[in-house]
Chains A and B, each alone.
Chain A
Amino acid sequence: MFDLFDDYTLRTVALGSAALGITSGALGTFAVLRRQSLLGDAISHAALPGVAIAFLLTGSKAPLVLVTGAALAGFLGTLTVMSIVRTTRVKYDAALGIVLSVFFGFGLVLLTFIQRRPDASQAGLDRFLFGQAAGLLRRDLLTMAILGGVALFVMLLVWKELKLLAFDPDYGASLGFPMRALDILLTSLLVVAIVIGLQTVGVVLMAAMVIAPAAAARQWTNQLGLGAALAATFGALAGIVGSVLSAETERLPTGPTIVLCATAIVLASLLAAGRRGLLWRELRGRRDRRRLRLAAVLADLQALELQHPGAEHGHSAAVVSVMSGGALTTLEELERRGHVRRLGEDEWALTDAGRREADR
């Protein structure tokens, strides 16, 4: 099976996935910050009928044709969401759900219709559902790279305006920037980022490539620029690893593999990243709790000592645990540290070092 994929194919697959990962990662940063993560899901699902219609109208499977159809349909989908929100009492999340399912359903119907046709030229359109990196050709790669490059270039060009849009649109409007137009521009860039990934990742899971890298990057940095760069890197990493894995392995679907790679990056980031990381927070919390418990038991022993002055006197764990709760393991730990010594089977007293520690 492996010899089916020579270096050329693998390189095409890896480069294409990197292009889609970089673009969707960087632009996803803005989507996530603006709490529009699910807009990506609506766009990608809405793109499916666009692919089918583009093929039906032209009979061509050229990447630019299909991507254009996908982009138009994706854009139409977001416009529909916006006008539903503006003209009816349906809320944003419900509007997203409606558009997503209606467009996607229509796309599936068209796809089925195309596949039932007698000619063989339609073969391969169903890869837009779950994605297929293995079929990526040089011309696909070129289309993806150019479109992604243009989207990133525009993003960098109006970076400060987009930052204004994401942070404080009212203030931006007072400065004279057309915030509605910037909103539409950013959405269009997001549409581009999504449609170039459809062939590889598929409409069903493409939203994850918008959300996951940006969410992971947010764990590591508090700077917008660095966050976008990191998200682009994570996106590329997930894309390359996922697509190569799936190309090298029989019957491993590309889209889901890439998305699982992205998810792994998110999980690792949630757990391990600096101060926001759950793992460090938990470890820090445990350390603090243990330190408090040790200090509490020492203080209790000291209080007992003051109540029973004079001769050396031990106290049972039960007495201490009435005061601090769960004292035995803590007493044993303090003994290991030399702060407490054991006078009898269950008799504990402070050492000199323990007294000094308790005074601190």
Chain B
Amino acid sequence: MNTRAPAIEVTDLTVAYGEKPVLWDVDLEVPQGVLMAIVGPNGAGKTTLIRAVLGMLKPAAGRALVFGKPYEEQRKLVAYVPQRGSVDWDFPTSVLDVVLMGRYGHLGWVRRPGQADKAAAREALEHVGMAELQGRQISQLSGGQQQRVFLARALVQHADLYFMDEPFQGVDATTELAIVELLQELRSRGKTVVAVHHDLQTVPEYFDQVTLLNVRRIASGPVDDVFTEENLRLTYGGRAAFFGRNGV
């Protein structure tokens, strides 16, 4: 890992589905060791931005670097936490099994997870307070527990940069608190977290930096500098004036 390079550096990124641009000429720099929230209205391209950086879709223009190199060369430094609702939780598998998927990238093709991987998975489950539930069917988990399983799966990747798509979506208050603590602990270990976030009111409390996105990048930087009423209005139109803050 290049220790100087920013965790993420996006330049002139444009993504279009058909003729409609979803992201237009986005520049973004995320320094290492920060918690960055990405906020914006529905359809603003938040998930698309993450997917583009992760190389899951081909941008029409521009590029994204992770720790100074294309994502393909840095996969092992990056962990992705998809939206909880993106999978079928009735799938016949156990909590431990899902967390073990976090080891698949390191294992490569064909090789199956071994004892060391299982130990790492159990440790990650303990980390998110789910140690006792390792054998449970995933269909029997609450929303908060599902989110914790996904976080544990990302933790066993032992990554330096974490992408989280709405980690607080539909979780109980205890889990929300646990996730916040986890984020802070990751930061204290020098990790970088980029999270799509919906609750504007908790942005200053949970995150150091914020990117306001609505197809174009409206603003990006430390929360104190850019999370202003003016920028929120530019991002959400008039609708979010209620949440507006005058500095901190």
Residues on A lying within 8 angstroms of B by beta carbon are: 33, 157-161, 163-164, 166-168, 170-177, 218, 221-224, 227
Contact = CB atoms under 8 A, between A and B. Distances in A.
B92 A163 contact: no
A158 B104 CA distance: 11
14 contacts: A33-B88, A160-B104, A161-B109, A164-B101, A168-B87, A168-B101, A170-B51, A171-B80, A172-B104, A175-B104, A176-B75, A222-B94, A224-B93, A227-B92
Contacts of A221: 92
Contacts of B82: 168, 170-171
A33 B92 contact: yes
B101 A173 contact: no
Interface in B54-82: 54, 56, 72, 75, 78-80, 82
A194 B113 CA distance: 31
B218 interface: no
A168 B112 contact: no
A176 B72 contact: yes
B109 A167 contact: no
B104 A177 contact: yes
A222 B92 contact: yes
A174 B104 CA distance: 11
A33 B88 CA distance: 9
Interface in B94-120: 94, 98, 101, 104-105, 107, 109-110, 112-113
A158 B51 CA distance: 25
A119 B80 CA distance: 64
A115 B82 CA distance: 56
A135 to B, nearest CB: 38
Contacts of A172: 104
Q: Is the interface of B mostly helix, strand, loop or mixed?
A: mixed
B86 interface: yes
B91 A33 contact: yes
Nearest to B111: A160
Contact of A222 (B72, B98, B112, B139): B139
B134 interface: no
Interface in B2-45: none
Contacts of B113: 160
A163 B93 contact: yes
Interface string B104-148: 110101101100000000000000000000000101000000000
Contacts of B86: 168, 170
A223 B104 contact: no
Contacts of B78: 174
A287 B98 CA distance: 37
Given A175-B104, A222-B137, 15 more contacts: A160-B113, A168-B86, A170-B56, A170-B80, A170-B82, A170-B86, A171-B153, A172-B104, A173-B56, A174-B54, A177-B105, A222-B92, A222-B93, A223-B92, A223-B94
Q: Is the interface of A mostly helix, strand, loop or mixed?
A: helix
A166 B104 contact: no
A158 B54 contact: no
Contacts of A161: 104, 109
Contacts of B109: 158, 161
Contacts of B56: 170, 173-174
Contacts of B91: 33, 166-167, 224
Contacts of B93: 163, 167, 222-224
A224 B87 CA distance: 16
A174 B88 contact: no
Nearest to A161: B109
A158 B111 CA distance: 9
B92 A176 contact: no
A21 B139 CA distance: 29
A166 B91 CA distance: 9
A185 B78 CA distance: 27
Nearest to A167: B91
A176 B106 CA distance: 10
A175 B102 CA distance: 8
B101 A171 contact: yes
A170 B51 CA distance: 9
Contacts of A171: 80, 82, 101, 153
Interface in B130-171: 137, 139, 153, 163
B201 to A, nearest CB: 29
A157 B92 contact: no
Contacts of B72: 176
A92 to B, nearest CB: 16
A171 B107 CA distance: 15
B92 A224 contact: yes
Nearest to B165: A170
A160 B112 contact: yes
A153 B101 CA distance: 21
Contacts of A173: 54, 56
Nearest to B110: A157
A22 B93 CA distance: 22
Contact of A176 (B87, B98, B105, B137): B105
Contacts of B80: 170-171, 174
A177 B139 CA distance: 25
A225 B75 CA distance: 28
Contacts of B94: 222-223
A227 B94 CA distance: 13
Contacts of A160: 104, 107, 112-113
Contacts of B92: 33, 218, 221-224, 227
